[in-house]
Amino acid sequence: MKENIHPKYVECTVSCACGYAFKTRSTRPEIKLDICGNCHPFFTGKQKLVDTAGRVEKFKKKFGETVHVSAKAKPVKKVKTRAEKLRKATAKILTSAAKKRKTAK
Protein backbone atom coordinates (compact mmCIF):
# COMPACT_ATOMS: atom_id res chain seq x y z
CA MET A 1 0.00 0.00 0.00
CA LYS A 2 1.30 3.46 -0.86
CA GLU A 3 2.23 5.78 1.95
CA ASN A 4 1.07 9.40 2.42
CA ILE A 5 -1.78 9.29 -0.15
CA HIS A 6 -4.73 8.70 2.18
CA PRO A 7 -6.54 11.62 3.87
CA LYS A 8 -6.36 12.00 7.63
CA TYR A 9 -9.32 10.48 9.47
CA VAL A 10 -10.02 12.92 12.30
CA GLU A 11 -12.74 13.65 14.82
CA CYS A 12 -15.24 16.12 13.35
CA THR A 13 -18.15 18.19 14.61
CA VAL A 14 -21.46 17.94 12.73
CA SER A 15 -23.69 20.97 13.33
CA CYS A 16 -27.25 21.51 12.13
CA ALA A 17 -29.11 24.74 11.36
CA CYS A 18 -31.47 23.97 14.27
CA GLY A 19 -28.54 24.15 16.70
CA TYR A 20 -28.04 20.44 17.34
CA ALA A 21 -24.40 19.29 17.17
CA PHE A 22 -22.65 15.95 17.61
CA LYS A 23 -19.20 14.49 17.10
CA THR A 24 -18.17 11.73 14.72
CA ARG A 25 -15.17 10.85 12.60
CA SER A 26 -14.54 12.01 9.05
CA THR A 27 -11.86 13.31 6.72
CA ARG A 28 -13.25 16.83 7.20
CA PRO A 29 -12.93 18.65 10.54
CA GLU A 30 -16.41 20.26 10.39
CA ILE A 31 -19.71 19.41 8.62
CA LYS A 32 -22.73 21.76 8.45
CA LEU A 33 -26.24 20.42 7.79
CA ASP A 34 -29.56 22.09 6.91
CA ILE A 35 -31.68 19.29 8.38
CA CYS A 36 -30.72 16.61 10.90
CA GLY A 37 -32.51 13.77 12.64
CA ASN A 38 -33.78 16.10 15.39
CA CYS A 39 -35.51 18.57 13.07
CA HIS A 40 -36.37 16.45 10.00
CA PRO A 41 -40.15 16.48 9.24
CA PHE A 42 -40.29 12.68 8.98
CA PHE A 43 -39.10 12.25 12.56
CA THR A 44 -40.78 15.29 14.17
CA GLY A 45 -44.16 15.16 12.40
CA LYS A 46 -44.00 18.91 11.72
CA GLN A 47 -43.69 20.40 8.26
CA LYS A 48 -40.65 22.60 7.71
CA LEU A 49 -39.96 24.72 4.64
CA VAL A 50 -36.27 24.88 3.78
CA ASP A 51 -35.48 27.72 1.41
CA THR A 52 -31.89 27.64 0.26
CA ALA A 53 -30.81 30.86 -1.43
CA GLY A 54 -34.37 32.05 -2.19
CA ARG A 55 -35.25 29.19 -4.53
CA VAL A 56 -38.92 29.12 -3.54
CA GLU A 57 -39.35 32.81 -4.38
CA LYS A 58 -37.43 32.32 -7.62
CA PHE A 59 -39.76 29.47 -8.61
CA LYS A 60 -42.89 31.46 -7.73
CA LYS A 61 -41.60 34.46 -9.64
CA LYS A 62 -40.83 32.35 -12.70
CA PHE A 63 -43.92 30.14 -12.82
CA GLY A 64 -46.46 31.96 -10.62
CA GLU A 65 -47.60 34.35 -13.35
CA THR A 66 -47.81 31.75 -16.11
CA VAL A 67 -50.23 29.62 -14.11
CA HIS A 68 -52.68 32.53 -13.78
CA VAL A 69 -52.35 33.51 -17.46
CA SER A 70 -53.09 30.00 -18.70
CA ALA A 71 -56.11 29.74 -16.38
CA LYS A 72 -57.60 32.95 -17.80
CA ALA A 73 -56.91 32.00 -21.42
CA LYS A 74 -58.97 28.82 -21.40
CA PRO A 75 -62.63 29.22 -20.39
CA VAL A 76 -64.16 26.14 -18.86
CA LYS A 77 -66.80 24.49 -21.03
CA LYS A 78 -69.82 22.96 -19.41
CA VAL A 79 -70.02 19.38 -20.56
CA LYS A 80 -73.52 17.99 -20.86
CA THR A 81 -73.84 14.54 -19.42
CA ARG A 82 -75.90 11.81 -20.97
CA ALA A 83 -78.47 12.12 -18.18
CA GLU A 84 -78.97 15.84 -18.87
CA LYS A 85 -79.46 15.18 -22.58
CA LEU A 86 -81.93 12.39 -21.78
CA ARG A 87 -83.91 14.64 -19.39
CA LYS A 88 -84.12 17.37 -22.00
CA ALA A 89 -85.28 14.95 -24.70
CA THR A 90 -87.88 13.42 -22.36
CA ALA A 91 -89.21 16.84 -21.40
CA LYS A 92 -89.46 17.80 -25.07
CA ILE A 93 -91.39 14.62 -25.90
CA LEU A 94 -93.78 15.10 -22.97
CA THR A 95 -94.51 18.74 -23.83
CA SER A 96 -95.13 17.93 -27.48
CA ALA A 97 -97.45 15.04 -26.47
CA ALA A 98 -99.42 17.38 -24.18
CA LYS A 99 -99.81 19.92 -27.01
CA LYS A 100 -101.11 17.20 -29.35
CA ARG A 101 -103.74 16.17 -26.79
CA LYS A 102 -104.96 19.76 -26.41
CA THR A 103 -105.27 20.21 -30.17
CA ALA A 104 -107.01 16.86 -30.58
CA LYS A 105 -109.81 17.74 -28.12
Give 67's pLDDT tier (boundaries 50, 70, 90): low
Mean pLDDT of 53-68: 73
Closest CA to 23 of 10, 31, 14, 32: 14
In this prediction the pTM is 0.42
Burial tier of 36 (Cβ tally within 10 Å: 0-12, 13-18, 19+): middle
- Domains of the chain, residue spans: 1-48
User: For position 72, what pLDDT does the model report?
Assistant: 61
Instruction: Kindly tell me the burial class for residue 2, based on how many C-beta atoms sit within 10 Å of its own C-beta (0-12, 13-18, 19 or more).
Output: exposed
Residue scoring higher pLDDT (80 or 82): 82
Q: How far apart are CA 24 and CA 37, in angstroms?
A: 15
32-49 pLDDT, tens per residue? 998 888 888 777 777 766
Which CATH code fits 1-48? 4.10.80.400
Percent of residues, the chain, with pLDDT higher than 90? 21
15 vs 100, more confident = 15
In DSSP terms, 26 is beta-bridged to: 10
d(CA 97, CA 12): 91
